[in-house]
Structures are given as structure tokens and as C-alpha cells.
Structure 1
């Protein structure tokens, strides 16, 4: 499951598995729901413990000044967002349902692509949370900065998260806006998709050689992507290093 691999990437950030005593925590929450279908999903996902696993891995990696919650909730709209007022990453049952419906409606396409799409959306919101709670001076538009956070996490787990790019491309193809669906806009437009695919390629060129072969990146652009990823990785390492649990 890509989300569990993302949890593994988070754990790799930590040099010690023992968080400092006085700090905030990453938490998991499953508020009560009204929709019977959502109740069934809630029971299954809570039993699976995916959010708890993600939270514990993030606890091993980061020292926080306050709690941050992963929350599965009813929202009336298919969204995944970060609420800075509550320090909560909210993943909506409506979004999970829509992704499932889109998957069922495709003539071809692997379920793993939808899992990778969900993993990207979740980790993008984690990026927003990390930037907000740690008050990181990213010097970039927030959406671009959160995208870069995901790319850095992908780079921490080579061979395991290589296919996350499939989820990114799928979200673009579906023209899905999971943050502000009422606008009807495409979140991953061409420019944003190009930056993401370039950085993902740059993090592991051998694994993503097909991106050049299939014309998703030109050979000259691909060469520059390697340096661009190295710059992004070095910058985020510097931003995060003082907030990591270290032995």
C-alpha cells in the first residue's frame, strides 16, 4: 500500500525512534459519521490502522510544537485538505468514494494508480501541515512547496515509491480538484504536472527512464531535472534537519 510506503519514508527521516518527551504528536482520528456507507468505511479503515501507522512514523521522524491530526471525516465534498486553525489533515470519505467510482468507470488502468493518487494527495497535505506547524520559511507558493515535500519523501524510499508518479499523472488526467472542488479547476494543471514529473524523474532517473522514452520529458529537460532535484533535496534537508528526532 503506497501510504504505508510513505510512512516508511517518514520513518527514514528519523535517526532515533524515541521522540522527545515534551512535544506535540501526530494523531489519528475517526469522528462519528451519519452516512451508513461511511460508517462501514470508517469501521474498515479504523480496524486497518493505516492512519495510526502513518502517525507513528511521523512521530518517529519529527519533533512538533503542537499536535497534528490525521482525520477521516464526512465533508459533503470530495476533498483532502489541511486546516491550519485545527492543525488537522482532513481526508473525506466522499473523496475516497469518488476515487473508487472513477476507478470502476475506467476501461483500463491499474488500481495501484488510484492508490498512488490517494498517497500523493495525503502526503501533499502532510507537506502543508509540516510547513505550517514548524513555521518553515519555504520562500515558495504553498502548493509548490507542499509538492516539493512529497518529492523529497519519494526520494527517501527509492524503489518503493517510484510509481507515485503514476498517481500524479492520473490526477491530472482525471482533472480532479481535491482541494477546492467547487471551483471546477484542475489542481494538477500542465505547469504543475511538469514540475512534479521533472523532480520525481530527477530523484531516480533509472527508475523513470520511460518518461523520456515516452516523450513525457525531453532528453535535455531530463538532464536538468537531476540537478533540480538535488537542489530541492538539499534545501529541504536544511529546512527540516533541526526538527528531526536524532539520537
Structure 2
């Protein structure tokens, strides 16, 4: 945008503070050339997964569980076989001293902290809120795998943006939440039961951030200015993608009131005036986990974000023909 704002471009806000100016200097703008950062061969390089021993209570049990069931290693192997990484990418589960997971740009490495896993190493069978409809049978192992998978793909999203110089727009944290959710959603098999579906992993993972979110009366400007959306917003955004991808499956769970109105309008079109439908939607909205005003938009949101990520996959994460 600087070419349109020559006056602002020459205005040095931090001219008296060179140290701050240096710290806030713009990063080099990527070229965003399709395929330029991809390796020369699909599947040549892989993710190097390591589970280090832990000193945190219960985490060596978790470590062994991940090693034994192999689900993370298998999933990462499948991802690596479909893209052209330019180098091997280490992914290390380790004690960090804080509950976190992050992509390390200079090292091209992903760290996943056991302290973070310890926060969700529990079952959700006790949940008695509306969310219990999709948390049904979400025992400790289900929550452990689902939440870890969602966070892992979120951080991999950051890694892919960095490695392949993906042309995302908007907030990167939102974009990689979409990547994580869409990757899991598009792994669903048509005949799978709800509890078997990877898409439920996305909902379980997003529910974790919903639980961690600050109460409305304790939200500060620092929380609002954070690069992440509020945990509650992230939860509803992922919910919308799941609904948009499969309204038949998730409509009765996430937007029951909306589905009831739609069914009534189809059975009795003579009664479904615009004013009456608007009244029905308001009266049944408490039955929706996802409010109907957002649920209306979800099919389009999913189609748009899915197409965008598939475009970046096809054009930036695999070699391109000259």
C-alpha cells in the first residue's frame, strides 16, 4: 500500500528511537512465486518426529502412548508424501517450562510442549453443556489425540506459511486455524460414525481453546491486541467450518434450531412467510450451539477457505512446471 501513500511512507514515526525502529523494521517481503520455495521432489523429505522423556507428571505415559499407537507419525508421514518439503523438518515433543507449541522460523523446526498437553490430558465425559452433543464419548484418549492433532496442524500451518511463502491474507493465526480444521474435516470418510471422524478432532481441539479463554469481564486490551482471536471466537470459527462442510451430519448437532425452521418451512411452505420465518429463527436460536446468523454463512465460508488452501497446496507446496 505504500505506493498509494507517499506522504505516510516518508513519515518516520520512531525517528527519535533508532533501537525501536530497528526492532520494528519490516521483514523482507516474500516474492510469493508459485512453487519457488518447494523442494524438487514430492515426498523426498519428511517430518522427523521425536518424543523426548519428560519430568512432568503423567507425560511419560502420554509420550509412550503416542509412540505405541503411532497415529502422529503415520499422519505426518502421509502429509510429507503429498508435498515437496525442501528439507527434513524436526518436530519435537519436549518439556519447555511453559504450556506452548510453536514454529521456529530460523531453525525450521516445530516444538510441542508437554506442559501444554498436561492442560488437556483429561476426558470430557463430564461436560453437561450444549457441547456435549459432539463431545459424546470423548474420553481422555480421544481428547488427548484430537486436541494434539488440531494444535499440531495449527503449528504446521505456520510452518507451511513460512517454508513455502504462502500468500495468505488476514491474520495468520486465523488462517492456520482454518488449515488445521480443513485438513481434519477433509480426512472424514463418508461412512464413519461421528466419534470416528477426524472432523470431530477439530471440534475437540477448538473446544480446548474455548475452555482456556478468559471470562468476558477479565478481557484486557492486551488480550484483545493479541495475534490470536479470542478462544471463544476460534471455537465458533472451527464449528462453522465443520457445519459448512457437512450440514447433514453437523446441522442437527450444531444448529438444531435452524434445521427445525428449515424443515418446517419445507413441510409447510404456505406458512413460511418472511416475517414468520424470522420469528421462528429467533425463537429457536437457543437450540443452536452456533447462532443461526453465523450458521447461514458457513457453507460459503467453508467452500471459500477450502478452495484457498487447496489452491496454495497445488501451486506453492509442490513443484511447478516451467
Distance 1:92 1:20 in 2: 31
Say which SS state the counterpart of residue 137 (structure 1) adopts. coil
Distance in 1 of aligned mates of 2:301 and 2:67: 39
Q: Runs of 5+ in structure 1 lacking a partner?
A: 1-18, 177-182
Query: Is the alpha carbon distance of 1:81 and 1:22 closer, same or farther for their aligned partners in structure 2, counting shifts above 3 Å?
Result: closer
1:231 counterpart = 2:271: no
TM-score (ref. length: structure 2):
0.59
Q: CA deviation at 1:192?
A: 2.9
TM-score, with length taken from structure 1: 0.75
Number of corresponding residues: 220
Over 3 Å counting, the alpha-carbon distance change for 1:189 and 1:47 in structure 2 is closer
User: What is the SS of the residue equivalent to 1:199?
Assistant: helix
Does 2:166 align with 1:136? yes
Cα distance, 1:50–1:70 mapped onto 2, change above 3 Å: farther
Summarize deviations over 1:86-144 as a string: whole Å, max 9, x none: 222212222222322xx269844732344322221111111111111111011121101
For 1:161, the equivalent position in structure 2 comes to 198
Looking at structure 1, the residues matched to 43 and 154 of structure 2 have their Cα atoms a distance apart, in angstroms, of 27
2:255 is aligned to 212
Residue 192 of structure 1 aligns to a residue in which SS? helix
- Which stretches in structure 2 are left out of the alignment for 5+ residues? 1-39, 128-134, 215-221, 257-286
Q: 1:202 — aligned with what?
A: 244
**CA, structure 1 residues 234+22, in 2 after alignment: closer, same or farther (shift >3 Å)?**
closer
Task: Give me the whole-angstrom Cα distance separating, in 1, the residues matched to 2:102 and 2:95.
Answer: 13
RMSD value, Cα: 3.2
Q: Please tell me whether Structure 1 or Structure 2 has the larger radius of gyration of its CA atoms.
A: 2
Distance 1:232 1:129 in 2: 18
1:216 shift after superposition: 2.1
